[in-house]
Amino acid sequence: MKQTDKESNNTSRADPFAELDPDEVMAPKRGRIPTLEDQEDGLLIKPNMLARGIVTGVSASIITHTGRKLAQNLFRNPVFMFGLGLASGYLTHKYRKEILVAANSAAQKGSQIALRQGERLKKIFS
């Protein structure tokens, strides 16, 4: 529905959305912020979207609270702590060679970085 310049000047005051495409209003283009005029019922947030957000927030809160209490109870249990120590000791012993290689390579890379930074500082200040 195209209007001439004279018609658009007369109708623009009466209906500011006369030239909008109905498909664009119902499905705004990417990057455009929806406004109240974009929705049929005038709501930016639909009731089911609001309920879904509330349910998600409440469930996340419940899971976090339950997990925190469970972790506190487990870490106070001496049998659990003993088992955790056994498991970590076993894995450390099993992968001791890989751990040593990774630690040595990290130390070498760190010293190389420190040497390069020292050289750069000497160049800057000289």
H helix and E strand count, the chain? 5, 0
In a domain, 47, yes or no: no
Domain membership of residue 101 (yes or no) is: no
pLDDT of residue 26: 54
pTM to 2 decimals?
0.39
Distance between CA atoms of 74 and 106, rounded to whole angstroms? 34
Residues of the chain with pLDDT under 70: 1-49
Q: Please tell me the predicted confidence (pLDDT) of residue 65.
A: 87
Range of the domain at 14: 5-38
Question: What's the domain count of the chain?
Answer: 1
Q: What is the per-residue pLDDT across 76-85, written as a single tens digit (0 to 9) for each? A: 899 999 999 9
Query: In the prediction, which pLDDT does 70 show?
Result: 86
In a domain, 93, yes or no: no
pLDDT score recorded for residue 113 = 92
